[in-house]
Chains A and B, each alone.
Chain A
Amino acid sequence: MEKEIIALEEEFKQDSHSAITQQDLEALRIKYLGRKSALASLFTRLPTLSKEEKITFGRRLNVLKNQITAALEEKTKGARGSEAPVDLTFPSSDIQRGSLHVLTQVSLELCTIFEKLGFCVTEGTEIEDEWHNFTALNIPLEHPSRDAFDTFYLDIPEGSENCGKFLLRSHTSPSQIRIMHDSKPPLAVISPGRVYRPDQVDASHSFMFHQIEGFAVDTGITFAHLKGVLLHFAREFFSSDVNLRFRPHFFPFTEPSAEVDISCFACSGKRPQTTDQRPKQESQKCSVCKGKGWLEILGCGMIHPNVLTACGISAKKYKGFAFGMGVERPAMLKYGINDIRLFFENDIRFLEQF
């Protein structure tokens, strides 16, 4: 029996050496500790031995059993978690993620930047009338300044309020008029939404697109505030090191008015080449700003006193600024989207990228 015990000890040592996985260890446990194991059969032979041998071998067998048990426990702790190794090279499951349309994402991001500054968000209606879309905004009916706002008209009979024909708003500014008309300053409002213009569809034009209108009216609002708010927006949205350039412009509803350019965030406007007359190879130019160094992103200004007056706000007491920008353009700039039609085709391969 002595020999058999020693042999068993040796065999276990060797077997346990090569056992690595949980599965191996379970097999080892069955082999050495199971009911049909060699150890168990040795135990069953104990009653046939002499009294002294019973004590000696009984002790020996118990020690061995404890050793094996302890060794197996120790091994089990260190063994790999799973029973069989996983083939990690299998392809992943098809995870179907829900997503917001990239224009919604950009619009939300823009609105949130202004909301954090204390602006609140309200939307106007898309069906508007001439008074809100033009007249109240200091755009006379028969005037060249209306050329910039070609508009779709609708077959809705004119109402009784002398507001003219119904139309699809050509900009989000009429919602500024409605809010100023209906509530008293102080006001700081952002108004996003769809707008419509009879433009032939191509890579950069669409008869439907999105705009964000923003304005603030209070006693102490200044042009410097307009600059501050827009600079904050540009740095939050594009990158912290962009700069703004305010160019004087004309809008009937603001005075002074400006168009705002951001320094190109792709080439940082490091090599503005407006001054260079030799035609550059297209490949040499920055693909985002076409080598100009600046990107036009919005129009703005101090709200024209005529507009405040039209809305029943005292132009003597209050001042305000307003700005309006497209959503498609910043989205295209930010994500390098080169065709406006992609937004409205809703190809899943486009949608799932954002």
Chain B
Amino acid sequence: MRFSLNFINEFIKVEMPAEKLASSLTMAGMEVEHFEKIGSDWVFDIEVTSNRYDWLSMIGIAREIAACMHKRFIIKYPQIIKKPLIKERAIFIENSKDCPLYIARSIRNVNVKEPPDIIRERIVNCGVNTINNIVDITNYCMLTWGNPLHAFDEDKLEGNIYVRRAKNGERFIGIDDKERVLSCGNLVIADEKKVIALAGVMGAKNTEVSRQTKNIFLEAAIFSPVTIRRSRRLACLDTDSSYRFERKVFGDYLECASMAASNLIEKIAQGTLAGYREAGKKTAHTQKKLTISLSSLQNYLGDTFPKNKVTRILTSLDFKVKTIGVDILKVTVPAFRLDIEREVDIYEEFIRIYGYDNITAKLPFLLEQKPKISNYHFKNELKYFLTTLGLKEIITYSICADKELEKAGFSKPVKLTNPLRLQENALRPSLLLGMMACVRYNINRAQENIRFFELANVYQHKDGSFCEDATLSLGVSLSRDSFSYLKGVVEELLKYLNISSWTLQEKSAPNFTSALSIVAGNQPVGSLGKLDESVKKEFELKEDLFFAQLDISCLLSARRRKLYKAFSPYPVINRDISIAFRYDIKFKEIEKIIRGSQAYIVDLRIVNTYEGKDLPKGYQAFTIRLFYQSSDKTLTSEEVDNLNTQIRNKLLEAEGVILR
């Protein structure tokens, strides 16, 4: 909303520099976003919050400025003439809920021409286009009083005027020359034959005031904010008029706006007021009276204020204040303040003028509260833990394209009913897509050593409702050993959480060449694996991706308290075994032979992978390091050699295994 200082000066003399005015209005809640000098005028662009319909008029803004300057503001109301009655046509309102009151003035023999400079300058500086003297006068009066007006070419009206809902499929060409198909969600003004306006939003082309117009039918009305909002949304329109109706308009000024416009048309366009007609009635408003106590005001805001200060500020905002006893104030709310409903609204009115910044800041003593169930800290702990392993956290979008999800085999995701774009029309049921996108992005920018994790929610339809589960994903793409790295991270995580009896079980999974199910107790908590070649191709990944996904609440419930476990004080002795075995033999089987034979082996690791020409075809070769330790004695070198020989012999017995 823009206002012109010269315009305001017609109502109240502003005696402060523009800069000072801008800052004091801003600090009183009328935020000045921008202001500039245009010719001899200062133009202010203000943000009007949705509760302050009254600031959409010069009268309202002038009143606010008066309060900031601690001045009293007095409005000059025009003398209202309601005679003679318009006899040519009657006005019918279909539903008083849509339109409680409609008034019209007929002004004859006008001269439609250029507007006088002063009118044009006022409205243009307030951001309204100039059209001709008649239209500009209606806008001038709308800007003054806040009530939108519309002027029809009276000679183009056919018969009675109706305020009614549009018929489905009814067509309307606005003064913007665009045709719109209406429905019963639109409120229209119509005559016997045609629609002449989209009520409260825009006039129709067919009755527009032009240079040939001689007689004017001037409309002023109260429309339901909800009806206008729905109607203009259906028509994809947002006009100065609908903007005001949506935020309510003040009924008391309706006659003033109409009368003032009529007077100006007489004066400027040489017309004559020839008639008046109204339909419906003004909604009577009871004077709102609120009782507030000074002590509750102070308890609410947390500071002390002298009573006379409170009284003075409220009075400057047109509230009537009556003091009862030491503490009680009886406050009468001015009729134009439709937004004031209860005590706290009065507190705000006082404090915004008194100045929020004048309240002394204090820290509260917060009392102990009942603990809240939350996995917030657990998730943070996981994040920290994963960074200690060298992984980087990523944050990717929760919304993705259903087509992409389908490509990855995820069907029936939760969908957005009003997506902005097709790329973002569904909620992800897995973190895989986000991980792939992020890995692809980095690989395409020649980044290496990809070790990512994300902790976010996944969403799914479930039993006619939905589920939203916190989930951890891991994505690894290294130049070598990606899988053992990822498996190591998962194992470290399970160990860190002290989850008892977890296992990694081979399984087949869509999107993965080979996959492991992560099982804690008997419950699967997630899976890991190598992304399938076809998926890789589909999503244009240039490198292999190893991916794991784990459910946070499963991890949290499987987590066990850590207790110190004594470790053996006796030394660890290691021996290496160089081994080759056929590709069809799983390492698991080798490990079973090694571990199965005796109890002193505490760990084993692969320390070397051998790829020589001397290997038989179809064999892979490793050096396995075995770690021997006893919990109750020091093992001698001979004992260990002995044990190691036993293992070697057992390995030799196995088919497809060669020792080197």
A residues whose Cβ falls under 8 Å from a Cβ of B:
94, 96-101, 103-104, 108, 117-123, 125-127, 142-145, 147-148, 152-157, 159, 166, 168, 179, 183-184, 186-189, 192, 194, 196, 198-200, 207-208, 216, 218, 220-225, 227-229, 231-232, 245-250, 255-259, 274-275, 277, 302, 304-305, 319, 343-349, 351-352
- Cβ distance B2 to chain A, nearest Cβ, rounded Å: 16
Asked if residues A152 and B395 are in contact (CB atoms below 8 Å), the reply is no
Cβ contact within 8 Å between B361 and A227: yes
Q: Select one of B229, B366, B394, B396 contacting A188, CB under 8 A.
A: B366
Binds A, one of B88-96, B143-151, B417-425, B615-623: B417-425
> B415, A155: Cβ atoms under 8 Å?
yes
Chain A residue numbers with a CB within 8 Å of B229 are: 142-144
A101 in contact with B424 (CB, 8 Å): no
B324 at the interface (CB under 8 A from A): no
Do A275 and B31 form a contact, CB below 8 Å, given A125-B468, A223-B351? no
B153 interface residue, CB < 8 Å from A? no
Which residue of chain B lies nearest to A98 when distances are taken between CB atoms in the complex? B387
Smallest CB gap from B388: residue in A: A98
| Closest Cβ neighbor of B303 among chain A residues | A224
Known contacts A188-B366, A229-B364; 19 further A-B pairs (Cβ under 8 A): A94-B449, A96-B449, A98-B451, A127-B468, A143-B225, A152-B416, A153-B416, A168-B416, A194-B456, A200-B420, A216-B366, A218-B364, A218-B366, A225-B362, A245-B27, A277-B37, A304-B344, A346-B452, A351-B394
Cβ contacts under 8 Å, B36 to chain A: 277
**Are A224 and B301 closer than 8 Å at their CB atoms?**
yes
Known contacts being A121-B377, A127-B466, A224-B303, is A255 close to B414, with CB within 8 Å? Answer: no
Listed residue (B344, B427, B438) with the most chain A CB atoms within 10 angstroms of its CB: B344
Q: Which of A196, A231, A348 contacts B361 (CB 8 A)?
A: A231
Known: A186-B366, A207-B399, A216-B364. A223 touches B302 (CB 8 A): yes
Chain B's interface size range is 35 or more
A sample of 21 cross-chain residue pairs with beta-carbon separation below 8 angstroms, ordered by A number, consists of A94-B449, A96-B390, A98-B392, A100-B387, A104-B383, A126-B457, A127-B427, A142-B225, A152-B416, A156-B466, A186-B366, A186-B368, A208-B398, A222-B302, A223-B300, A228-B363, A247-B356, A250-B49, A302-B300, A346-B396, A346-B438
**Is B286 part of the contact surface with A, judged by Cβ < 8 Å?**
no
Using A96-B451, A305-B342, A345-B441 as known contacts, say yes or no to A183 and B398 having CB atoms under 8 A apart: no
* Contact (Cβ within 8 A) B352 A142: no
Identify B414's interface contact among A117, A154, A223, CB under 8 A.
A154
Chain A: which residue is nearest B30 at the CB level? A248
Query: Would A229 and B356 count as touching, CB distance under 8 A?
Result: no
**Chain B residues near A198 (CB-CB < 8 A):** 418-420
Q: Known contacts being A142-B229, A223-B302, is A119 close to B366, with CB within 8 Å?
A: yes
Q: Residue B108 at the A interface, CB < 8 A?
A: no
Cα of A275 to Cα of B42 in the assembled complex, Å: 13
Are B300 and A319 in touch, CB under 8 angstroms?
yes
C-beta contact mask, B292-307 vs A, less than 8 Å → 1, else 0? 0000000111110000
Contacts of A345 in B (CB 8 A): 438, 441
A188: which B residues are within 8 A, CB to CB? 364, 366, 369
Which chain B residues lie closer than 8 Å to A153 at the CB level?
Answer: 416-418
CB distance from B485 to the nearest CB of A (A): 11
B interface with A by C-beta (< 8 Å): 19, 22-23, 26-29, 31, 36-37, 49-52, 225-226, 229-230, 246-247, 299-303, 342, 344-345, 347-348, 351-352, 356-357, 359-364, 366-377, 380, 383-384, 386-399, 414-420, 424, 427, 438, 441-442, 445, 447, 449-452, 456-457, 459, 461, 464-466, 468
Q: Decide: A248 and B300 in contact? CB cutoff 8 A.
A: no
Find chain B residues with CB under 8 A from A147 CB: 50
Report which of B300, B367, B457 forms a contact with A186, defined as CB distance below 8 A: B367
Q: Considering the chains assembled together, what is the distance between the CA atoms of A250 and B441 in angstroms?
A: 42
Dominant SS among interface residues on chain A: mixed
Nearest chain B CB to A74 CB, angstrom units: 37
Q: Is there an interface contact between A246 and B457, defined as CB atoms closer than 8 Å?
A: no
In angstroms, how far is the closest chain B Cβ from the Cβ of A207? 6
Contact of B391 among A98, A156, A223 (CB under 8 A): A98
**Chain B min CB distance to A103 (Å):** 6
Q: A100 contacts which chain B residues (CB < 8 A)?
A: 383-384, 387, 393
Q: Which of the listed residues B359, B369, B398, B445 has the most CB atoms from chain A within 10 Å of its own CB?
A: B369
Q: Is the CB of A99 within 8 A of B393?
A: yes
Report the minimal beta-carbon distance from B386 to chain A, rounded to whole angstroms: 6
Q: Which residues of B contact A192 (CB under 8 A)?
A: 376
* CA distance in complex: A221, B246 (Å): 35
Given A117-B363, A154-B417, do A101 and B247 touch, yes or no (CB 8 Å)?
Answer: no
Residues of chain A within 8 A of B300, CB atoms compared: 222-223, 302, 319
Assess the B464–A157 pair: CB atoms within 8 A: yes
Measured between C-beta atoms, what is the minimum distance from A348 to chain B in Å? 5
Question: Are A224 and B393 in contact (CB-based, < 8 A)?
Answer: no
Partner of A121, one of B366, B374, B392, B395: B374
Q: Which residue of A lies closest to B42 (CB)?
A: A277
B302 to chain A, nearest CB (A): 3
**B416 proximity list for chain A (CB < 8 A):** 152-155, 168
Q: How far is the CA of A187 from the CA of B377 in the complex (A)?
A: 19
Q: How far is the CB of A200 from chain B (nearest CB, A)?
A: 7
Docked complex Cα distance between A284 and B19 (Å): 20
How distant is A332 from chain B, measured CB to nearest CB, in Å? 14
Given A221-B364, A348-B392, also A121-B376 (CB < 8 A) = yes
| Min C-beta distance of A87 to chain B, whole Å | 26
- In the complex, the answer to whether A258 meets B366 with C-beta atoms within 8 Å is no
Residue on A nearest B425 in the bound complex, by CB: A152
What is the minimal beta-carbon distance from B414 to any residue of chain A, in angstroms? Answer: 6
Rounded to whole Å, the gap between the CB of B236 and the closest CB of chain A is 14
**Chain B residues positioned under 8 Å from A255 (CB to CB):** 344-345, 347-348
Contact in complex: A250, B51 (CB < 8 Å): yes
Q: Is the CB of A186 within 8 A of B392?
A: no
A98-B386 contact in complex given A228-B364, A231-B361, C-beta closer than 8 Å: yes
The answer on a CB contact under 8 Å between A101 and B398 is no
Whether A346 contacts B447 by the Cβ 8 Å rule is no
The answer to whether A189 touches B372, judged by C-beta atoms less than 8 angstroms apart, is yes
CB distance from B501 to the nearest CB of A (A): 28
**Nearest A residue to B359, CB-CB:** A224
Within 8 Å CB of A194, what residues of B? 398, 456-457
Q: Which residue of B lies closest to A183 (CB)?
A: B370
Contacts of B366 in A (CB 8 A): 117-119, 186, 188, 216, 218
**Cα–Cα distance between A84 and B388 once the two chains are bound (Å):** 35
- Given known contacts A104-B395, A224-B301, is B348 in contact with A257 (CB within 8 Å)? yes
Assess whether A145 is in contact with B361, with CB atoms less than 8 Å apart: no
Given A121-B376, A274-B22: A258 touches B356 (CB 8 Å cut-off):
yes
Q: Is the Cβ of A344 less than 8 Å from the Cβ of B359? A: no
* A120 with B369: CB separation less than 8 A: yes
Q: Of B351, B374, B459, which is within 8 A of A256 by CB? A: B351
Q: Name A143's contact: one of B37, B50, B362, B372 (CB within 8 Å).
A: B50
**Looking at the complex, which one of A118, A304, A348 makes contact with B447 (CB distance below 8 Å)?**
A348
Docked Cα-Cα span, A142 to B419, in Å, equals 21
A223 to B461, alpha carbons, bound, how many Å? 42
Please determine whether B362 and A228 come into contact, CB atoms closer than 8 angstroms.
Answer: yes
Tell whether A145 pairs with B393 under 8 Å between CB atoms, given A224-B359, A228-B364, A255-B348: no
Q: Which 8 A-B pairs have the closest CB atoms?
A: A222-B302, A224-B302, A248-B29, A98-B387, A250-B49, A256-B348, A246-B356, A118-B366
Which residues of chain B have C-beta atoms less than 8 A from A227's C-beta?
A: 356, 359-362
Q: Which residues of B contact A101 (CB under 8 A)?
A: 392-395
A275 to B35, CA, bound (A): 9
Whether the pair A224, B361 counts as a contact (CB closer than 8 A) is yes
> Could you tell me if B362 and A152 are in contact, using CB atoms closer than 8 angstroms?
no
CA distance A196 to B359 in the complex (A): 35
Q: Is the CB of B49 within 8 A of A343?
A: no
Q: Which residues of A contact B344 (CB under 8 A)?
A: 255-256, 302, 304-305
B303: min CB distance to chain A, Å: 6
Chain A residues near B449 (CB, 8 Å)? 94, 96
